[in-house]
Amino acid sequence: QVQLVESGGGLVQPGGALRLSCAASGRSFSSYVWGWFRQAPGKEREFVAAISRLSGSTHYAESVKGRFTISGDNAKNTVYLQMDTLKPEDTATYYCAARLTYFLSTAADDYAYWGQGAQVTVSS
């Protein structure tokens, strides 16, 4: 059974940083695509970042470009989201996701596997 488990969420002040981790078990995603999405209360789930573990290519939402960095560790079957210069509008539940293809996608429906979510709150 495939499981994705996020960790690293929490409360941080504006301008601060957090690193989210997402560990997969049940199969290897070392050659496929990982993504991060987020959902704020009353809003739809939105794309944040994605990485192709095979090519190393990445893609970011405009709202996080230059502040967030997605990376992966194949040996640990884990993907990370480094979030710097956090803003109150980054407050949301963050979800990692994985898809068994080589092509990046920003569409949540393209991802078959999902974690349970990690809460990130940016507030003073």
Alpha-carbon 4 to chain mean position: 11
Among the listed residues 54, 19, 18, the one whose alpha carbon sits nearest the alpha carbon of residue 34:
54
Indicate if the pLDDT at residue 68 is higher than 90. Answer: yes
pLDDT value for 6: 95
Alpha helix (H) ranges present in the chain?
A: none
pLDDT value for 44: 96
**Which residue type, as a one-letter code, is found at position 42?**
G
**Which residue type, as a one-letter code, is found at position 40?**
A
pLDDT value for 123: 97
Indicate if the pLDDT at residue 1 is higher than 90. Answer: no
| CA dist 30 → 9, 90, 104, 123 (Å) | 23, 28, 14, 35
- Reported confidence tier of residue 25, pLDDT bands at 50, 70, 90: confident
pLDDT value for 114: 96
- pLDDT tens sequence across 26-58: 877 777 899 999 999 999 999 999 999 888 899
pLDDT value for 35: 96
- pLDDT tens sequence across 70-124: 999 888 889 999 999 999 999 999 999 999 888 999 999 999 999 999 999 999 9
| 17 CB-contact burial (10 Å; exposed 0-12 / middle 13-18 / buried 19+) | exposed
CA angle 57, 60, 66 (to 5 degrees): 105
- Reported confidence tier of residue 21, pLDDT bands at 50, 70, 90: very high
- Which tokens in the block code for residue 66? 């230059």
